[in-house]
Amino acid sequence: MFEAVVQWGGQGGVAFVRSALPLIVLAVTALVVGGIELVRPSRRAHIAVLSAGLGVSFFLSWQMWASASGASQGMFLIDRVTIVGWQIAIIATAFALLVSCSDRGEGVERSVPAAMLGVIAFGMALLVAAADLVVILIAFEIIAAGAVALIVGGRAGGRAHEAAVKFFIPSLLATAFMAMGAACLFGVTGATELGAIAERIPECMASPMRSLVLVGVGLVTVAFALRIAIAAFHAWMPDAIEGAPPAAAVILTTGAMAAGLIAFMRVALAVAAIGPLWRGLLTALAVASIVVGNLGALAQTNLKRMLGFAAIAQVGLALIVLPSVAADPSGVSRALILFLLVTVVLMAAAFAAVSAIGGAGSVDSAQLAGLASRRPVLAATFSLILLALAGLPPTVGFVARYDLFLTALGGGDVGLVLVGAFGSVLSIAYFLKPVWTMVFCEPHASMGAFDEDATVRAIPAPLVAVLAIAAMVVILFGILPQNLVAYLSLSAW
């Protein structure tokens, strides 16, 4: 079965390089942007180079999608899921870049975001193309390094530093766990490549080495859990999101998470031969994330923290299809990339809306009171995005969730789907609460100063772009999802 998914074998180097071009372009972009940063920091040059790099890379990925053949060079695997993963990473980076352009906080080193986003984009692209635990480890490191710099973002002291520390320590732990896990698996199977591990796991499970396999897989799983904020390794997420500048919040909850989940899906497939124990672990992680994320989000009044918890819940929701990945790889991969693509757009737009309302600082949900009468278009767009995040029809959020539930049911995970549905009800509660406040509540008198501010300030053009694109995606693909679904169906394994 695995062979059908991963075509190992003798593709020529040239062909491989050609198929890896989008990744290479991103690497060069990251280098150039980093180089400019060292020589002569210039915000405009950064943004120009990064935009060009993202654009070229996206174009190349679009071009080669039709001819993608699952080219593999041992440590890398470039199939259509990889290509869609690249596209997701590029879209996430582009949104983060747009959000960062509007970040006008005090003491912001304006050139840093673009430079670091370039680095993170490369890390994410590497992660979705990784077919080897060592490559995954390296990609983790690149993303973490970029993200820490992005979170600090040249700001002096305060919340950003705290957020950076809270993000960095789990990242270090993730690296350590990943290294140990890879070592364990290498010890047992003699390989760190996912394909080779997959081949050898059945015989290892029958041998006395069984426990070492389990330990190795467990450590790798913990590393992923730390990296993409799966409960119970999620504690850093809301804190980091609350303190981080908007661009960092966007990239951590969208692209980094999506890339991590795609890589985790490859790992899940590779070690699926472990059997019920592995399914059980995935089920437990999914349930824990859904419960923790949704209950946590329910209790928040700070919008950014709420979105941080919501991101954990979304990871949990994405995980509900993974137990069936071995039985139905094409369905699972389609449902997952559809959900990730949609979530990336929606979460980025949600953070853009929060930035539009409250600037780079944090926004309390009480500040939204009466927004519908003060800024009807912004309030309507934000409401639309929140409804989509809650997975209500006729938005694209519903389409994504629908496919996810259907796939999980196809795999026989009725219990998981019920948990997911229960979580969705909770998510309706907390995603509709801001809508509620915007539409139904009158602004408090004590909010007067803030109100003045919000009414006067115009929304920066980049944020308008993000919101407009997201609103169009939500409605267009919500009502007529056919093209999107067909594209992703053809991209699935």
Binding residues vs another protein (CB under 8 A) = 387, 392-394, 398-399, 402-403, 405-406, 409-410, 414, 417-418, 421-422, 424-425, 428-429, 432, 436, 439-440, 480-482, 485-486, 489
Backbone dihedral angles phi then psi of residue 308, each to the nearest 5 degrees: -60, -45
Token duo for residue 280? 């059980």
Nearer to another protein, 7 or 489 (CB): 489
In the complex, what is the shortest distance from the CB of residue 406 to another protein, in angstroms, rounded to a whole number?
Answer: 5
Nearer to another protein, 159 or 374 (CB): 374
In the complex, what is the shortest distance from the CB of residue 257 to another protein, in angstroms, rounded to a whole number?
Answer: 24
In the complex, what is the shortest distance from the CB of residue 439 to another protein, in angstroms, rounded to a whole number?
Answer: 6
In Å, how far are 151, 258, 284 from 419, measured between CA atoms? 33, 21, 11
In the complex, what is the shortest distance from the CB of residue 471 to another protein, in angstroms, rounded to a whole number?
Answer: 15
Structure-derived torsion over alpha carbons of residues 21, 98, 224, 363, reported in degrees to the nearest 10: 180
Nearer to another protein, 89 or 416 (CB): 416
In the complex, what is the shortest distance from the CB of residue 358 to another protein, in angstroms, rounded to a whole number?
Answer: 24
In the complex, what is the shortest distance from the CB of residue 414 to another protein, in angstroms, rounded to a whole number?
Answer: 7
In the complex, what is the shortest distance from the CB of residue 61 to another protein, in angstroms, rounded to a whole number?
Answer: 21
In the complex, what is the shortest distance from the CB of residue 247 to another protein, in angstroms, rounded to a whole number?
Answer: 32
In Å, how far are 92, 142, 160, 168, 230 from 149, measured between CA atoms? 18, 11, 10, 10, 23
Between CA 5 and CA 440 the distance in angstroms is 51
Nearer to another protein, 279 or 433 (CB): 433
Nearer to another protein, 64 or 399 (CB): 399
Nearer to another protein, 257 or 484 (CB): 484
Nearer to another protein, 302 or 489 (CB): 489
Nearer to another protein, 331 or 359 (CB): 331
